[in-house]
C-alpha cells in the first residue's frame, strides 16, 4: 500500500471543506468536545518521550489501580492524548496489547452535556453500552513537564476513522446530534470522506473509493473498521519534520506534500510512534 502518496490526501479537498454542508438534528449539541484520544502502549516511557521530544506538555505517569492502567497525558491546544499502559495482571487493555503488539489507538472520549440523557439516547438507538450504569472515570489534574521545543505541536486537526459502511457510520453521529457533512468522493485519493464536527476538532470518516484504495488493506484486516490515524498541526512543518528525523523517527515520504486542507503534510511511521499513524500538518 502506497501510504505516502495517498494518505496525505485522504480527506476532502480544500474546496470541499469550505463548501461543507451539514445536516441538523433534534439532539444537536448533545455531543461536545473531543476530550481525548486514548492510545494503548507496551512501553509507556518510550511513548511519552516521543511526544515530549516534540515539545508537547507531557504529564508524569500516574497509576490508576481502580482502572487497571497507568496514564500519561499529552496536552495539545484543543484536546489531549491519553497514553495507557497495563497496571496489574487483570488490566482491561491487556487483551488489546496482546493483539496489537506495538500498541495503537484504543478509544476516543467525547464529552456530553448530560451523561444520563446521552446514555438514554444511545440505548434508544439500539447501541449497546459496556456497563449498566455510569462510573467515575480516571481523570484528575495532571502535572506536566516542559521541553525546549514547547509549542512545536499544535491542535489536533482530526481523528481519521476507516469504516466499511460510510452511511451507517455517518448516521451514528448524526443520530447523536453532531454536524455531519455530505459524503464527498475523492477519486484521486481512493476514498470517500465524511466530516463530523465537534466543538474543538473533527472526525474524518473514510471509506474506499475504487479497487486500489489505500485503506482497503486496513479494512481487510479490521473488518468493522477503526481509528486509522490522527492529524496534529505544527507551527513549522519543515522544522517538525527535521526534528522527528533527528530523533530517528521515520517518515512515509522524503518530502512534505500538499494534503487534504491545501497545506503541507507529512506522515510518520507508526512503528516509531507507538503503533499510531500520525500526520503532521502545517497550521
Q: Which residue is listed with cell 433534534?
A: 26
Structure confidence at residue 3 (pLDDT) = 42
Give per-residue pLDDT as tens, 173-230. 999 989 999 999 888 778 899 999 999 999 999 999 998 898 999 999 999 999 999 9
With cut-offs at 50, 70 and 90, classify the pLDDT of residue 116.
confident
Q: In the predicted model, is pLDDT for residue 17 greater than 70?
A: no
Task: Give CA–CA dist 209/215, Å, rounded.
Answer: 9
CATH topology of domain 31-145: 2,3-Dihydroxybiphenyl 1,2-Dioxygenase; domain 1 (3.10.180)
With cut-offs at 50, 70 and 90, classify the pLDDT of residue 31.
confident
Task: Provide mean pLDDT across the span 262-273.
Answer: 91
CATH top-level class of 3-28+151-282: alpha beta
As a whole-number percent, the residues of the chain with pLDDT over 90 amount to 60
Please state the length of the chain. 283
Task: Give CA–CA dist 214/218, Å, rounded.
Answer: 8
With cut-offs at 50, 70 and 90, classify the pLDDT of residue 59.
very high
To the question of pTM greater than 0.75 for the whole model, the response is: yes
SS3 call for 7: helix
Give per-residue pLDDT as tens, 60-70. 999 999 899 99
φ, ψ for residue 122, nearest 5 deg: -65, -35
Give per-residue pLDDT as tens, 121-134. 889 889 899 888 88
- Check: CB of residue 57 under 8 Å from CB of residue 150: yes
Pick the range with the lowest mean pLDDT from 2-6, 83-87, 267-271. Answer: 2-6
Structure confidence at residue 26 (pLDDT) = 64
Pick the range with the lowest mean pLDDT from 86-95, 162-171, 227-236, 252-261. Answer: 252-261
With cut-offs at 50, 70 and 90, classify the pLDDT of residue 260.
low
**Domains of the chain by residue range:** 3-28+151-282, 31-145
- Check: CB of residue 10 under 8 Å from CB of residue 215: yes
Q: How far apart are the first and last CA of the chain?
A: 27
Structure confidence at residue 132 (pLDDT) = 84
Structure confidence at residue 23 (pLDDT) = 53
Structure confidence at residue 112 (pLDDT) = 87
CA distances from 132 to 92, 124, 135, 146 (A): 17, 14, 9, 40
Domains 3-28+151-282 and 31-145 equal at CATH topology level: yes
Between residues 95 and 260, which one has the greater pLDDT?
95
Q: In the predicted model, is pLDDT for residue 258 greater than 70?
A: yes
Amino acid at each position: 500500500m502506497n501510504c505516502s502518496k495517498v494518505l496525505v490526501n485522504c480527506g476532502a479537498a480544500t474546496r470541499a471543506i469550505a463548501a461543507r454542508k451539514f445536516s441538523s438534528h433534534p439532539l444537536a449539541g448533545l455531543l461536545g468536545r473531543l476530550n481525548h484520544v486514548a492510545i494503548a502502549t507496551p512501553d509507556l516511557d518510550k511513548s511519552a518521550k516521543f511526544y515530549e521530544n516534540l515539545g508537547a506538555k507531557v504529564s508524569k505517569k500516574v497509576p490508576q489501580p481502580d482502572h487497571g492502567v497507568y496514564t500519561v497525558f499529552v496536552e495539545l491546544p484543543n484536546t489531549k492524548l491519553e497514553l495507557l499502559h497495563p497496571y496489574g495482571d487483570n488490566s482491561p487493555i491487556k487483551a488489546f496489547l496482546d493483539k496489537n503488539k506495538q500498541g495503537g489507538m484504543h478509544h476516543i472520549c467525547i464529552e456530553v452535556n448530560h451523561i444520563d440523557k446521552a446514555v438514554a439516547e444511545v440505548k434508544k438507538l439500539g447501541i449497546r453500552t459496556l456497563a449498566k450504569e455510569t462510573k467515575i472515570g480516571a481523570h484528575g489534574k495532571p502535572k506536566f513537564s516542559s521541553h525546549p521545543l514547547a509549542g512545536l505541536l499544535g491542535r489536533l486537526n482530526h481523528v481519521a476513522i476507516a469504516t466499511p459502511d460510510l452511511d451507517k457510520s455517518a448516521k451514528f453521529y448524526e443520530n447523536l446530534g453532531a454536524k455531519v457533512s455530505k459524503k464527498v468522493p475523492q477519486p484521486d485519493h481512493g476514498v470517500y470522506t465524511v466530516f463530523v464536527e465537534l466543538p474543538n476538532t473533527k472526525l474524518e470518516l473514510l471509506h474506499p473509493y475504487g479497487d486500489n484504495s489505500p485503506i482497503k488493506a486496513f479494512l481487510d484486516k479490521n473488518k468493522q473498521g477503526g481509528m486509522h490515524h490522527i492529524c496534529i498541526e505544527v507551527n513549522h512543518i519543515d522544522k517538525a519534520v527535521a526534528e522527528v528525523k533527528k530523533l530517528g523517527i521515520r517518515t512515509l515520504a522524503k518530502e512534505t506534500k500538499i494534503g487534504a486542507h491545501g497545506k503541507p503534510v507529512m506522515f510518520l511511521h507508526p512503528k516509531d510512534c507507538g503503533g499510531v499513524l500520525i500526520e503532521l500538518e502545517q497550521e
